Structure 1
Amino acid sequence: MKSNYMTRAMVHPDPRFAVILGKMGYEAKVGSASDDLAALRTEYQNIVGKRAFHGWSANDLREKIEAAKSGQ
């Protein structure tokens, strides 16, 4: 995901940024994606026994988890 001012402002700990940008028509889609990515990283660590590389996307992690489950 490309990081720009809007994406950084939407995930800022101060909720005022999200409220203002929400009124301007921007949606906070980043929060659920980051929660999903954190869950995938935890699942990867439980299955493989090593921590996931932070440069991997959610799709990359899903592929690696499936490969580990199938024994490849």
Structure 2
Amino acid sequence: MKKKYTAAELRELPTLCVGQADDLKIEDNEAGLRVWLGRVQTDLVMIEERDGEGNWHTTEEYPG
């Protein structure tokens, strides 16, 4: 089971990259995992996973 991140704990982390509407908070290339925290949809947590071809896909979204 994947860890569920809260908006509060993600806000405590440094922002690695600023997207158009979200802040990248976690990027683990070995695990193929990214975690974004929404700014427009405040506190929306988005999980991205990399597929076998190296493409990123949003696999989960939930209010943080």
**TM-score normalized with structure 2 length:** 0.24
The structure showing larger relative contact order (alpha-carbon pairs under 8 Å, at least 6 residues apart) is: 2
Task: Judging by fraction of residues, say which structure has more strand.
Answer: 2
**TM-score normalized with structure 1 length:** 0.23
Task: Judging by fraction of residues, say which structure has more helix.
Answer: 1
